[in-house]
Amino acid sequence: MTAFLTNLLGRLPIGWLQLVHNKARLAAAIAGVAFANILIFMQLGFQGALIESIRLPYIAMNADIIISGSDVNTMADGSPLPRQRMFEALSVPGVATATPFYLAKLDWKQSDGSERSLDIFGIDPSAKTFKLDEVNSSLDRITLLDRAMIDRETRNVSKVIFEDLNAGKPYIFETRGRTLTIIGTFAIGGGFSTDGYFIVSDQTFLKLFPQRSSGAPNHILVTLENGQNLDTMVKRLQARIPTYDALVQTVDQAVTRDQRFQTTQKPVGLIFGFGVAIGILVGIIIVYQVLSTDVADHLREYATFKAIGYPSRFFLGIVFEEAFVLALFGFIPGVFISIGLYAVVSNVTGLPITMPLSRPLLVLIGTFVMCGLSGAIATRRLANANPADLF
């Protein structure tokens, strides 16, 4: 390493040698940077999971365009809109299908007495509302009243239920004064606002939620005829459908709007952003602490080098060299521990926490910037190295 750095820098790697000389300090500094990295990775992981879990139900929909209540932010929070909008949409040339989509929260009591909160979708069983094969092939079975399908990635539910369902054994439970029979599974995956999903027919949905009306679905899913331009069609639909109670968006736009809202307006999203900031702050403070102590400890040596004729930038070089060594050596354990933690957390929570390739790269660059910043602050102490004081 010393030889490598000597060649790289064209001088003795004083910063590196200083760090290695004080092993305890080096270990503490690396642990600190690694800790800050893990903090940042975990926050980004959760944030990524939030963003991904928001996307999952949308991409399962068989839709190009989604029409929602004009006050919509997330899939679940908009007001229902008149079903009339569906007929208006169907009258627009280029629209292939338009189907109502009902949505609510359903509490499901487990055998141990605890409750799971799932989103329940009510769909028209004669339409292809989802791109999920298992759902589409079971449409005739959920047409029957009080039949449901369940997301097998639903969190904190006894695996036995899904094993039984796989083996063809339906699962029966009571909710909202009715007896539901789960007859099959599909896969979407829960997120932060829901443990998982149920799919039922619109009739079953309306029986479960009698206050809801068939004339007021939450969304209307629109598919286009082949070869239609998405943006043109959005414009056409917007022209046809009144804007005071309905919002026309592509599914991508709906996903983006939902993600932006949940990451910037909702507490969960904000906390993750805040957590990243805390991680960066922790890193900056730890690295600054280490570097400034190190500078203070070597003031005599630096003053000596100044007397010998080394210019100020030489000392900046040493501090930044140390900053970058710490960044790199802290990052390596940080990223590996984080990958391990992702696996653990994703296993325990069922959240889609994964490590996209771009994230380590981003965090590494961020770590360099973070350490460089700490180094820059620490160099202020260099001014105290006055060679005249050496005698």
Partner 1 sequence: MATIVRNNVGSTVREPPIDIQGLNHSFGSSEIRIQVLFDINLTMRRGELTVLLGASGSGKTTLLTLIGCLRRVEEGSVRLLGNELNGASENMLVQSRRSLGFIFQAHNLHESLTAMQNVRMGLEVHGRDATRNWEKSAEHLLTLVGLSDRLHYLPGSLSGGQKQRVAVARALVGNPDIVFADEPTAALDKVSGLQVVNMLKQLGKKRGTTTLMVTHDNRILDLADRIITLDEGRIIGDERPTY
What's the first-to-final CA gap in the chain, in angstroms? Answer: 35
* Cβ closest to partner 1, residue 19 vs residue 40: 19
Nearer to partner 1 (CB atom), residue 310 or residue 368: 310
Q: Kindly tell me which of 59 and 296 has the beta carbon lying closer to partner 1.
A: 296
Least Å from the CB of residue 16 to partner 1: 9
Task: Give the three-class secondary structure for 350.
Answer: coil
Among residues 22 and 203, whose Cβ is nearest to partner 1?
A: 22
Tokens of 335: 């990223």
* Distance separating alpha carbons of residues 44 and 3, to the nearest angstrom: 37
Q: Which residues bind partner 1 (CB under 8 A)?
A: 10-12, 14, 17-18, 20-22, 298, 300-301, 303-305, 307-311, 387-388, 390-391
In angstroms, what is the minimal distance from the CB of 323 to partner 1? 17
The smaller minimum CB distance to partner 1, of residues 26 and 150, is found at: 26
Q: How far is the CB of 57 from partner 1 (least distance, A)?
A: 58
Smallest distance, partner 1 to C-beta of residue 15, A: 10
The distance of closest approach from Cβ of residue 324 to partner 1 in the complex, given in angstroms and rounded to an integer, is 17
Nearer to partner 1, 115 or 389 (CB): 389
Edge-first strand order for the sheet with 219-224 is 171-175, 178-186, 147-151, 197-201, 115-123, 95-109, 219-224, 65-69, 246-250
Q: How far is the CB of 375 from partner 1 (least distance, A)?
A: 18
The total of other beta-carbon atoms located within 10 Å of residue 8's CB is 10
Q: Summarize the chain as % helix, strand, coil (round to 5).
A: 55, 15, 25
Query: What DSSP element (H or E) covers 165?
Result: helix 159-166
Determine the Cα–Cα distance for residues 304 and 391; give it in Å rounded to an integer.
Answer: 10
